[in-house]
């Protein structure tokens, strides 16, 4: 699981969003970047989290934040998620899990007594110079914006 912590340099990631647009860490220099990892598009917890971020998007913009969601869903699934819930930020379709693994959020999980490997819901707040300001591993899906915008 994630060994990244506050003060570490963020991984120099690169991936494609729902529209095939490339995103990499360098694209966000000079902005604060919130990279939020979620298990699966359009599932209840992930929808609640994404909609909370959407509903507070103007506050993020006013504070010089960019938002970037990441899951292992296909670009098509990410596009549907954005369309259905009117999400104003890009979602990386990290099907090869390169970004997920770079941030160390892939690992063993338990659900209803069953163990499997999956994405751990984790958010990284990265400063204007690419340094991790905060790692949020206990994400409150209904109040996630408040956890970030203290």
Can you tell me the distance from the alpha carbon of 41 to that of 28, in angstroms, rounded to the nearest whole number?
24
First to last CA, the chain: 26
Catalytic positions are: 46
- Identify whether the C-beta of residue 148 lies closer than 8 Å to the C-beta of residue 55: no
Full 3-state SS string of 50-95: HHHHHHCHHHHHHCCEEEEEEECCCHHHHHHHHHHHCCCCCEEECC
């Amino acid at each position: 699981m994630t060994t990244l912590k506050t003060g570490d340099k963020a991984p120099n990631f690169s991936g494609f969003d729902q529209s095939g647009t490339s995103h990499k860490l360098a694209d966000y220099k000079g902005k604060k970047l919130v990279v939020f990892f979620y298990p699966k598009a359009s599932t209840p917890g992930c929808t609640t989290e994404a909609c909370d971020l959407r509903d507070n998007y103007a506050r993020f913009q006013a504070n010089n934040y960019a938002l970037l969601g990441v899951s292992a869903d296909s670009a098509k699934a990410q596009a549907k998620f954005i369309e259905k819930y009117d999400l104003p930020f890009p979602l990386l379709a990290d099907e090869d899990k390169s970004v997920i693994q770079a941030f160390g959020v892939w690992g063993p999980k338990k659900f209803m007594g069953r163990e499997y490997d999956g994405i751990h819901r984790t958010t990284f707040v990265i400063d204007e110079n690419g340094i991790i300001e905060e790692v949020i591993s206990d994400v409150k899906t209904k109040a996630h914006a408040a956890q970030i915008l203290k």
